[in-house]
Amino acid sequence: MAACMAVMVVLVFGNVVLRYAFNSGIVVSEEISRWLFVWLTFLGAIVALREHGHLGTDMLVGRLGPLGKKVCLVVGYALMLMTCWMLFRGALEQTKINWDVAAPSSGASMAWFYGAGLVFSVSAAGILLNDLFKLLTGRATDADLIIIKESEDQA
């Protein structure tokens, strides 16, 4: 993620300087920066999912007892796994469709762009299945039963 951010900064800043100072630019700068931004976003979402760092509200779940929290969490995990499956199917189809499509300025396969969805969906499903397994086998603590952060200060 740090490498993606560093390359994005160098490409965009370099392109701005070249355009204003020398009236030229790096042709692939915008395309590569956009691709890196998409990959950075998906990789960041994987990290946030692993650390339970996504924001949300526990207004209802926080008032339930341990059994109610577990039921809500299992339902939530099932819905998130279904979403991962739908994202995987869609990203896989887009990757297949765009396998032979060349990007306009770099000429790279557009499949690399849509591959970010594949990496995210597989990684997220693995994390969710691991957490669901811990919950169903009774290894989840009471603190693990609420998996969101109420505010950014707690994240």
- Residue 95 within any structural domain of the chain: yes
How many distinct helices (H) and strands (E) make up the chain?
4, 0
- Residue 125 within any structural domain of the chain: yes
- Residue 153 within any structural domain of the chain: no
- Residue 151 within any structural domain of the chain: no
Rounded CA-CA distance 93/22 in Å is: 42
- Residue 154 within any structural domain of the chain: no
- Residue 150 within any structural domain of the chain: no
Report how many domains make up the chain: 1
User: In tens digits, what is the pLDDT along the chain, a chain of 155 residues?
Assistant: 889 899 899 988 988 898 888 888 888 888 999 999 999 999 999 999 998 887 777 778 778 888 888 898 899 999 999 999 999 999 999 999 999 999 988 889 999 999 999 999 999 999 999 999 998 998 877 766 766 666 555 54
Give whole-number Cα distances, 149 to 9, 63, 75, in Å. Answer: 30, 16, 18
- Residue 21 within any structural domain of the chain: yes
- Classify residue 111 by its DSSP letter: H
pLDDT of the residue at 38:
94
Taking CB atoms within 8 Å and a gap of at least 24, the contacts of 137-142 are 140/70, 142/66
CB atoms within 10 A of CB 40: 18
pLDDT of the residue at 149:
61
pLDDT of the residue at 49:
92
CA-angle at 6, arms to 47 and 32, nearest 5°: 90
- Residue 49 within any structural domain of the chain: yes
CB atoms within 10 A of CB 120: 22
- 149 forms beta bridges with 55
What is the value of pTM for the model shown?
A: 0.83
The domain containing residue 89 runs over which residues?
A: 2-145
Q: How many CA atoms lie within 13 A of 2 on its CB side?
A: 0
Q: How many CA atoms lie within 13 A of 6 on its CB side?
A: 3
Residue with tokens 């070249």: 18
pLDDT of the residue at 61:
78
